[in-house]
Structure 1
Amino acid sequence: MVILAIADKIRAEIEQLRVEALAPGLAALAIELAETFDDTDASTSRAVVARELSAVMKTLKVMAPVGEEGDKLDDLAARRAQRRGA
Structure 2
Amino acid sequence: EAGNVPYVVENGCGKYSKSPKEIAKIVADWFGPKADELKAMSQNALKLARPDSVFKIVHDMHELVKQRSLLSEYSCTA
Could you state the TM-score of these two structures normalised by the residue count of structure 2? Answer: 0.37
Structure exhibiting the larger radius of gyration computed from Cα positions: 2
